[in-house]
Homo-oligomer: A and B are copies of this chain.
Amino acid sequence: MEEAEKEQHQKRMQKQKEKVDSHIASATIERGVAILLTGNGKGKTSSAFGMVLRAMGYGHKIGIVQFIKGAQQCGEADYIWQHANNVELQQMGTGFTWNTQDKTADIEAAERTWLHAERMLQDESLNLVVLDELTYMLGYKYLDRHKVIEAISQRPHEQSVVVTGRGGGRELRTVMDTISEVKDIQHAFRNGIKARIGVDY
């Protein structure tokens, strides 16, 4: 590489560094954040569990409530139950609405599972709370959305919360700091590829 090119690259990068540094310097508020991972693409639950792994690296205390899930084995829950002492993971355990086919029982299960979430959202010792697939409970009206939104917004100042699932509604978004929409551009499943152990479940 020519000296002139090198220098030009260095100058450009120095300028960018100043820009990045000034952005970082202007973010001064320190508190737990609320994150919504929504959209119809693959990667919402796995993203939440990636943050769990990240927090586990610091020995943080974590609470996880999985709505819907629990009827089928999944690797992340297995790992946590077997190896992660600082993580409490609760599952609704009923499976999808089309598996249960019983709305009354689904609502009861949702309410019962919500009690864990409510308790965790009041627990100052928890650094991170994950409410996996909570949005479906709101979409189906299995849980009262005012109750849910209030519990999230009233949580301890230092606690972060991650909510996953398609949709979520306009009101839920008002209490979120970060919202990512995971768009499904392409999915292996539509090309006839079977769900993969260790990747999809």
Contacts and interface: CB of A to CB of B under 8 A. Distances in A.
A17 B98 CA distance: 5
A186 B10 CA distance: 31
A122 interface: no
Given A9-B102, A27-B193, A47-B50, 11 more contacts: A9-B101, A41-B182, A53-B75, A57-B76, A57-B82, A57-B198, A58-B78, A127-B198, A128-B198, A181-B182, A182-B183
Contact of A101 (B13, B173, B189): B13
8 shortest interchain CB distances as A-B pairs:
A57-B75, A46-B50, A49-B50, A177-B188, A55-B198, A57-B79, A41-B180, A57-B78
Contacts of A187: 177-178
Nearest to A107: B1
A198 B50 contact: no
Interface in A59-81: 60, 74-80
B177 A13 contact: no
A11 to B, nearest CB: 9
Contacts of A173: 186
A35 B27 contact: no
A42 interface: yes
A33 interface: yes
Contacts of A33: 188, 193, 196, 199
A57 to B, nearest CB: 3
Contact of A104 (B6, B127, B192): B6
A43 interface: yes
Contact of A6 (B44, B51, B103): B103
